[in-house]
Amino acid sequence: MKKIEVENVTKIFGRSPAKGLELVRQGKSKEEILKETGMTVGVNRAQFSVEAGEVFVIMGLSGSGKSTLVRLLNRLIEPTEGSVWLDGEDVTEMNREELRRIRRTKMGMVFQRFALFPHKSVRENVEYGLEIQGVSKEERKQKALESLRLVGLNPYADSRPNQLSGGMQQRVGLARALANDPDILLMDEAFSALDPLIRKDMQDELMDLQSSMQKTIIFITHDLDEALRIGDRIALMKDGEIVQIGTPEEILTDPANAYVEKFVEDVNLTKILTAGSIMKRSEALVFGKEGPRVALKRMREQGTSTLMVVGRDRKFLGILAAEDAKAVVEEEKEMEDVLIKDVVRVEEETPVSELLPQMAENHFAYPAVVTDEEGKLRGVVVRGAIFAALAGNGNGVNTDAIS
């Protein structure tokens, strides 16, 4: 279900936006319009939709219009043109009253520099959204404490914001946005002012909260790693335009143009690529049904020296090496005894950065085995696949395997 649909939204800062709009329609660039008229194109005909429960990241460098774009959604900045549909209502057509209702009940916002009220206690800050709706003192106090508990700060309810560290202050900011129980969270560079370690904690915490709350989150950031970590989908902005929208993998492996390519080239692929995205589906030998001769034949056909062995329920049992299969045939050993069970086993979500050291530890002797949580075989990762994926900037990635 689409929660938000943004249609052709444009913002032009300057004296005669109508004229700027004309130039935008003629396809002139931000720079040309600035030179010609002195007006700044904040957002240029942005078009996207966000699903309910999705984490939608809007990413771009400073000046790319991302913070403007998020403010156009709740009209902290008035769009020059275009529509923002929220649950089937056009926010841009609303009068003040309706807009206030939307801001109070449907959209919570978290700010880069926290924007906590210094004259109010932490609890009063969290209560603010409820207070202005006229919620009774008792009820809003209770809701505020609940919200603070979510972010683990209820012991600090009576402190002043300036007594807390940056990370804690932003938790308060998050709690304040959550206290109204909005469907949508607008997070404007919410973690950018925090130091890297705290930032990572906050990202994890947000994802934890998100898994239980299922809010629709629109997250603004200039940090690609952050975008890739938390985004279900990412929109990349440049000069007020959205240049590409896609899942993290799509952005990385299939950049829409040279700009996106340049943006993502420094990304540490091992953190983004998962075992699932580089594994090969492998034909396995079903234990008890197929014998060592079948195994040898299959290895010959595939040109490999090992074969995965699974039970009838497709649960992974071990790896059978070619020489062991021969031994079973010639020396009449039991197949069970020669199966290699001490192998690297991971799940599809395991990032390559974790997979790589494990495989290096046993000198890449055998492929890594990818199983699901029940232990059923999903695929294998051979040494070559990792290096191909890393070296080829994603050429070796089988995008069809990405779920």
Partner 1 sequence: MPFPKLPLDRWIEQIVNWLMENLTILFDLISNLVEPTVGFFEMLLTLAPPVITAVVIGFLALLASRLSVALFTLFGLLLIQNLQLWTQATSTISLVLTASLISVIVGVPLGIWVARSKGMKNIITPVLDFMQTMPAFVYLIPAVFFFELGAVPGVIASVIFAMPPTIRLTNLGIRQVDQDLIEAADAFGSTSAQKLFKVQLPLAKSTMMAGVNQTIMLSLSMVVIASMIGAGGLGAVVLEGISRLEVGQGFEGGLAIVIIAIVLDRITQSLGKKSEKTS
Interface residue list for partner 1 (CB under 8 A): 74, 76, 99-104, 107-109, 111, 113-119, 128-129, 131-133, 176, 180, 186
Tell me the chain's radius of gyration from C-alpha atoms: 27
Contact yes or no for 122/159 (Cβ under 8 A)? yes
Q: Which is nearer to partner 1, 70 or 269 (CB)?
A: 70
Please enumerate in sequence order all residues whose Cβ is within 8 A of that of 284, keeping only pairs 6 or more positions apart, or say none: 307, 308, 309, 310, 314, 377
In the complex, minimum distance from the CB of residue 162 to partner 1, in angstroms, rounded to a whole number: 10
DSSP-assigned letter for residue 399? G
In the complex, minimum distance from the CB of residue 358 to partner 1, in angstroms, rounded to a whole number: 46
Please enumerate in sequence order all residues whose Cβ is within 8 A of that of 217, keeping only pairs 6 or more positions apart, or say none: 54, 55, 56, 184, 185, 187, 206, 210
In the complex, minimum distance from the CB of residue 82 to partner 1, in angstroms, rounded to a whole number: 20
Contact yes or no for 71/99 (Cβ under 8 A)? no
Taking residue 289's Cβ as centre, other Cβ atoms within 10 Å add up to 9
Q: Which is nearer to partner 1, 145 or 186 (CB)?
A: 186
**Which residues pair with residue 286 across a beta bridge?**
310
Q: Which is nearer to partner 1, 140 or 378 (CB)?
A: 140
Q: Which is nearer to partner 1, 108 or 276 (CB)?
A: 108
Angle at 375 between CA 372 and CA 380, to 5 degrees: 65
Contact yes or no for 2/51 (Cβ under 8 A)? yes
What's the distance, Cα to Cα, between the start and end of the chain in Å? 19
In the complex, minimum distance from the CB of residue 180 to partner 1, in angstroms, rounded to a whole number: 7
In the complex, minimum distance from the CB of residue 103 to partner 1, in angstroms, rounded to a whole number: 4
Q: Which is nearer to partner 1, 114 or 219 (CB)?
A: 114
In the complex, minimum distance from the CB of residue 209 to partner 1, in angstroms, rounded to a whole number: 19
Contact yes or no for 234/57 (Cβ under 8 A)? yes
Q: How far apart are CA 53 and CA 297, in angstroms?
A: 49
In the complex, minimum distance from the CB of residue 116 to partner 1, in angstroms, rounded to a whole number: 8
Q: Which is nearer to partner 1, 179 or 397 (CB)?
A: 179
Q: Which is nearer to partner 1, 73 or 242 (CB)?
A: 73
